[in-house]
A and B are shown apart, each in its own frame.
Chain A
Amino acid sequence: MSDIFRIGDKALNSRLFIGTGKFPRKPMIQEVIESSKSEVVTVALRRIDFDVKEENVLTYIPESCVLMPNTSGARNADEAVRIAKLARAAGCGNWIKIEVIADNKYLLPDNLETLKATEILVKEGFVVLPYMSPDLAMAKRMEDVGAAAVMPLGAPIGSNRGIKTKELVRILIDEIKVPIIVDAGIGKPSEAAEAMEMGCDAVLVNTAIATAANPVQMGRAFALAVEAGRQAYLAGTAVETQYANASSPLTGFLD
């Protein structure tokens, strides 16, 4: 069964997006892209060294992948917009993941500044994917100004705590029409599967893969989990119930 995932003008087979930070060596990114079959890769513009091929992380990302530069380091909308424009001018394409963080203690996003940057960059022709705290009113505004997807966090970046924001993400899934991609917090493949079973359209994973003892193998594990979760969602998971379904129903006498 074909289950193509569309964002902007791209049709994707994989619903696992990966990050490129925190890896023990850059060439490993290429191996992880292969093992995870990921087709969307996010890269912090701040760390791309365009001058030295071996140091340039883009060297290790196949052209078939969609490059999604991110605005890591931006503390407000203005900086995010400038980083996005620099990325596009440097040939990184027109996808941009907005990351506006003015909080170095918890690395939580600033939704208001993120919204401002989203609005500006959509008008400039970018495919904008804002990373945000899962807030329905904000997500609706992001959607209204033209975000291509919204990326709510499951838990703080790098925390590996799983989908702690589950109830809020579930509301976004119900109410927001653009794709919902859980970004940050996913620490284990089972949690990626959980997000997909819930009906998320995709997940973005970095720390859990990059800092695993074997990142390449972990990339494959995540691919399988995302696929399993997606299949389960499409298959329609059985309804959870608090009571046993007795084979001799209590109301059988009514038949």
Chain B
Amino acid sequence: MSFYEVYNQYKNMDFEGYFSKLTENDIHRIINKDKISALEFLALLSPVAKGSLELMARKANVLTKQNFGKAMILYTPLYLGNYCVNQCAYCGFNVNNPIPRKKLALDEVELEAKAIADTGLRHILILTGESRKGTSVDYIEECVKVINKYATVSIEIYPLEQEEYERLIKAGVDGLTLYQEVYNEQIYDEIHIRGPKKDYLNRLNAPERACKAKMRNVNIGALLGLDDWEKEAFFTGLHGQYLQDKYADTEISVSLPRMRPHAGAFTPKVNVDDKSFVQIMLALRLFMPRAGITISTREEPEFRENVLPLGVTKMSAGTTTAVGGRTQKEDTVQFDTSDKRTVDEIKEMLLSKGYQPVFKDWQLL
């Protein structure tokens, strides 16, 4: 049994037909329930539910406060390298994009980690492109050991085998971020033109392999814009619930990455407007009250502030998507960020909004 079976169970369902039968009353009834089923979650993603966003927001706010309090966990990404063998239509690291390729040497990794720690942050998300040669598991393991002197580490790298996750956990990794990009299998195949990433199932099952390896946190998501957001958000929620039900000792969280401009020209299939984005966040919070929800600097500062009370538990701050972007030239960005505020500025903003910025959320054992 893997999440693929759950996906197959719903992939051909008549979403439009289901949405067309829903009434405002149905939505209100669902909002008032303690526990929401998969189809009820889908109802919250429907066009009808758009009329009840305020009601959903009030409940989401209460649930978030109750489960996570007035605290916001902060982290920042550190790009170790941008070597990539994949040809993904939407990505700036696409093997065909003529950008400079590099990876950080261990002493450069340490400089970056130190620069980050100096801002007060104590959690780092390390990223690479997909290249087992350019940025091997051995290399990542060494990097983790270096960074652990300054911060705890999560990884956002290519999918690994369970034994490899176990190795990295032992080295000090406590979280995995891995986006399916798009759950729609057909679109997945179309936009992942060439490279190992073309293997849909390998990617789909990677978060579960990390759970089996006893990863503390697993963060999933769909790159919003690649297919109808209602379906993609639905499958993201189902995937999260599947993992949470099966691996209760792993903390499951969800990101809502919206497509951003990048090197190369790719037009998103779907435009996910702010209202729809908020609807996704609220539906997820009501469906999974205990799940973390991450909002990155892909989003505009004002928008990030506005959605704070709606379910967000984790934010990135002081980000750059360039390899070594804090201590070297920023000539390798994966995509442009919208919120360019410093860590101090984010911290002040959170305090002024009544949120405690949390820099450290795990103690290495």
Contacts and interface: CB of A to CB of B under 8 A. Distances in A.
Given A73-B363, A160-B66, A211-B66, 17 more contacts: A25-B351, A25-B356, A46-B361, A47-B358, A47-B360, A47-B361, A55-B120, A73-B216, A82-B365, A102-B249, A103-B249, A104-B249, A104-B252, A104-B290, A158-B67, A207-B66, A207-B69
A65 interface: no
Contacts of A8: none
Contacts of B249: 75, 102-104
A48 interface: yes
B242 interface: no
B71 A21 contact: yes
Contacts of B362: 46, 73
A218 to B, nearest CB: 13
Contact of A79 (B71, B355, B365): B365
Interface string B240-269: 000011001111100000000000000000
Contacts of B359: 49, 52, 55
A49 B70 CA distance: 18
A24 B67 contact: no
A149 interface: no
Nearest to B251: A104
Interface of B: 65-71, 120, 122, 214, 216, 244-245, 248-252, 290, 351, 354-356, 358-363, 365
Interface of A: 21-26, 45-49, 52, 55, 73, 75, 79, 82-83, 86, 102-105, 107, 158-160, 207, 210-211
A68 B29 CA distance: 43
Given A83-B363, A86-B365, A210-B69, A24 B355 contact: yes
28 contacts: A21-B69, A21-B71, A22-B65, A22-B68, A23-B71, A23-B356, A25-B356, A46-B361, A46-B362, A46-B363, A47-B360, A49-B122, A49-B359, A49-B360, A73-B216, A73-B362, A73-B363, A75-B214, A82-B365, A102-B248, A103-B249, A104-B251, A104-B290, A105-B248, A158-B69, A159-B66, A160-B66, A207-B66
Contacts of B216: 73, 75
Contacts of A75: 214, 216, 249
A49 B151 CA distance: 11
* Chain B, interface SS category: loop
Contacts of B356: 23-26
A246 B65 CA distance: 50
Contacts of A79: 365
Nearest to B249: A102
A199 B203 CA distance: 55
B365 A83 contact: yes
A107 B67 CA distance: 10
A22 B244 contact: no
B8 to A, nearest CB: 25
Nearest to A21: B69
Contacts of B351: 25
Contact of A211 (B70, B245, B358): B70
B314 to A, nearest CB: 14
Given A207-B69, A211-B65, A48 B355 contact: no
B236 to A, nearest CB: 17
A73 B152 CA distance: 14
B251 A210 contact: no
